[in-house]
Structure 1
Amino acid sequence: MDFQTSEEHTLIRESVRQLAIRYGLEYWREKDRQHAFPEELWQELARAGWLGTIIPERYGGAGMGLLEMAIVVEEMAASGAGATIAQLFMMTPVFGALTILRHGSEEQRERYLPALARGEFDFSMALTEPDAGSDTLATKTLARRRGDEYVISGQKVWISGVDRAGGMLLVARTTPLEEAPRRTFGLSLFLVDPRSPGVSHQPLEKVGTHCVTSSMVFIDELVVPKTALIGEEGEGWKYLVDTLNSERIVTTAGCVGAGELAIKLAVDYANARVVFGQKIGRHQSIQFPLARLKAEIEMARLMNYKAAWLLDHHLPCAAEANMAKMVAAEAAFNACDQAMQTLGGYGFSTEYHIERLWRDVRLFRLAPISQEMVLNYIAQHVLGLPRSY
């Protein structure tokens, strides 16, 4: 194993950092206040080639891997965006580009990948349902075959970015669960236009991540051609696993960067704030929690790099991706919470930015998979214990 940072990765970090610092804490605070998408930044990321990080050069991308994307997301988060940037990279580069690249047809790749690399439109994924929740295989949205078309109906919830997306990865059952020969059979993935007749959505109010809209999505007799199907009918679960592992890796990268940013803000304040005649950073009650969280953030980063490397080499990475996400989500939230504690009353003020980081990062203990479901996975698939759910 080689832990030496490559020249290429150093260059990526520096390039992204130079771009990101032009859209720093003040920029993100204003976007959060306005509940506005960071359009200016997103277009600059497209022009710089970062939206096409994992897209091969023949489709107009940079031809790199998920490890490099994790580095991009880390740097964006640490430079001011916080964990919210992970959602943006989940939606278009992962749900869109990665899924199509790894499992789509050549016609689908040629249609979508160059446009995604150029930032011409964004993507979304309609997966979670009101009743199924984390039980993806219990999806009830049904796609009925009708000649060379599918007719799809169902309901989704907590779908991010559908309000501005030009494409959507839609998860539906082509075989109802009760008729499937095995539980993992019968899911299918479709590439659809969320602006099509038959698709409507309604935004949900939420605590944080205000730069990204999350919505209820209603699908009523949506008609799509057979060519919208990704891969084989009924085999969508094995394609979806790749997407979900990638989603966890990007989530972890956002949490790592957000944790780094929170610790930095806390350290800067502790080195400047004088109480009872001395800087509060001299006290171990301030130092020790931040030092411990720095260690936890670094552990999450290393596990995430391992998961990304494995995925890039088409090797199993689910255990690593889930472990990294679990550790990063806890460490990042605790870092934001400890930063708020370090700043005292100022930490509760919007002026000092911690409260936005704190609100946004709380989501990632729930999504894209809850901490409890990660522990279920580790217990069953890593430790070999009986299934508990």
Structure 2
Amino acid sequence: MDIRLSEEQEAIRDGVKRVCDQFGDEYWSKKDQEKAFPFEFHKAMADAGWLGITMPEDLGGANLGVTEAAIMMHEVAASAGGYSAASTIHLNIFGPHAVVVNGTAEQKDRMLRPLIAGVDKACFGVTEPDAGLDTTSIKTFATKVDGGYRVTGRKIWTSSGQVANKILLLTRTTPKEECRKPTDGMTLFYTDLDRDQVEVRRIDKMGRNAVDSNATFIDDYFVPDADRIGEEGKGFHYIMHSLNPERVLVGIEAVGLGRGALARAARYAGDRSVFGRLIGQNQGIQHPLAENWIYLESAYWMIMRAAYLYDNGLPCGAEANAGKFLGGRAAFDACTRAVMTHGGMGYSTEYQVERLFRESILLRIAPITEQLILSFIAERQLGLPKSY
């Protein structure tokens, strides 16, 4: 079995790295401290053609697979930007998948071209404060009117809502209690995000501050029929197609973040001398870092297997979820160890590892918790009864 990267995949890795290397520690520290969106990085990635890596070629994309997208996003997260850099462009990779698969030719042209070119920025309006990961219990409701829908509801953790001009919005169009199945009766829209009519309130948070997260309040907001994706009532099924790619990308971004932190820790251990010897000469420093390498490497190849399975039309739910679980854990452990290796200086902003540490915990929480992944594996792979 040949599991090496192809020449084309290596070229993707190297090309993405060249763009990311233009944005160093000082740039990302400033964005994190000022809580400012990295517009310059976003533009550089768009100008280099990377925002359309999985999008149709006739719309300006590269029409490549999730495997190639994973290679790209790993390199982004391993750069100085960490998970903030990945989050800047993450939605472009998996978010519009429902439009690619279920949109009309007119919708694809109108909605995807500006995303690929970097002209539009989109956010994801799915999660709600009273539903969390129980997506079938969302309450945001779209009522049919002449020419479109009137939408009222609330979303939370809407990333990049302060700068996005588009939103991928999941609503109910039929109350859950009136549906044959809980997954029925939800409708998906890709529409304008007009902050003059929709309140987007920034949430103060621990890390990843270069990319905002928000509570979004929608009150009688008009969405035209032309912005509905696919059939009314089928929205949940449409977003399900993007869940496994999302797990793959989040997992590989976690690995990239962890590897970036680990590289910083190894460099510091190789330079720092205490009591007349390099601290990296001590097994008490060496062994934990080596263990981090092992877990990150294991997570990487689980995720790449999931990406391979997806791109070849094979079942990959267990592998994608397991990869996300492993990546999140390995990243958190590596970022924690990076801070510990730096000692007191790991607590300062100068060496950057505190920034990466603050970002790493998110990857154990979102977009799906470790507990739900374990429940999924127990049920689907071990044949155990459903626990929730």
Per the TM superposition, whether the score is higher than 0.5 is yes
Give me the whole-angstrom Cα distance separating, in 2, the residues matched to 1:21 and 1:86.
Answer: 14
Contact 1:248 1:321 in 2 (8 A): yes
Aligned partner of 1:31 in structure 2 is 31
Question: Are 1:143 and 1:150, in contact at CA under 8 Å, matched by a contact in 2?
Answer: yes
The secondary structure found in structure 1 opposite 2:238 is helix
SS in 2 for 1:83: helix
Q: Which residue of 1 aligns with 2:41?
A: 41
Higher mean C-alpha displacement, 69-78 vs 308-317: 308-317
Contact map agreement 1:286 1:342 (CA 8 A) in 2:
yes
Shift of 1:217: 0.5
AA partner of residue 35 (structure 2): H
Is residue 242 of structure 1 aligned with residue 244 of structure 2? Answer: no
Whether the 8 Å contact between 1:84 and 1:254 is mirrored in structure 2 is no
Q: Give the distance between the partners of 1:376 and 1:323, measured in 2 at CA.
A: 11
* 1:282 is aligned to 2:281: yes
State the partner residue of 1:205: 204
Residues of 2 paired with 1:188 and 1:246: CA distance?
21
The residue identity in structure 1 corresponding to 2:211 is: V
Partner of 1:172, secondary structure, is strand
Question: Cα distance, 1:197 vs. partner?
Answer: 6.0
- Give the AA of the match of 1:309: Y
Cα distance in 2 for partners of 1:221, 1:230 equals: 20
- Paired residues of 1:91 and 1:161 also in contact (CA < 8 A): no
1:20 equivalent in structure 2: 20
> Whole-Å Cα distance in 1 between the matches of residues 38 and 98 of structure 2?
24
Partner of 1:154: 153
The CA deviation at 1:339 is 0.7
8 Å CA contact retained: 2:67, 2:304: yes
How do 1:157-306 residues align onto structure 2 when only pairs under 5 Å count? 157-195=156-194, 198-306=197-305
Deviates more, 1:253-262 or 1:141-150: 141-150
Aligned length: 388
**What does the per-residue CA deviation read over 1:319-373, in whole Å, with 9 as the maximum and x for residues that have no partner?**
2211111110110011000011111001001000000000011111111111111
Secondary structure of the structure 2 residue equivalent to 1:271? helix
- Measure how far apart 1:147 and its partner are: 4.0
Q: Give the Cα–Cα distance (whole angstroms) in 2 for the partners of residues 381 and 85 of structure 1.
A: 34
Displacement, 1:243?
2.0
Distance in 2 of aligned mates of 1:84 and 1:312: 26
8 Å CA contact 1:141–1:155 kept in 2: the answer is: yes
In the aligned structure 2, how far is the partner of 1:318 from the partner of 1:147?
Answer: 40
Structure 1 gap segments, 5+ residues each = none
Question: Which residue number in structure 1 is paired with residue 5 of structure 2?
Answer: 5
How far did 1:134 drift? 1.0
Structure 2: gaps spanning 5 or more residues: none
Question: Residue type of the partner of 1:70?
Answer: A
Distance 2:14 2:39 in 1: 22
Deviation at 1:34, TM superposition (A): 1.2
> Which one is further off, 284-293 or 241-250?
241-250
Separation (CA, whole Å) in 2 of partners of 1:22 and 1:311: 32
Secondary structure of the residue aligned to 1:80 is: coil
Residue 348 in structure 1 maps to residue 359 in structure 2: no
What is the CA distance between 1:314 and its match in structure 2? 3.5
| Alpha-carbon offset, residue 227 of structure 1 | 2.2
Please show how residues 331-346 of structure 1 align to structure 2 within 5 Å. 331-346=330-345
Could you say what secondary structure the match of 1:37 adopts?
coil
Q: Is the 8 A contact 2:252 2:303 kept in 1?
A: yes
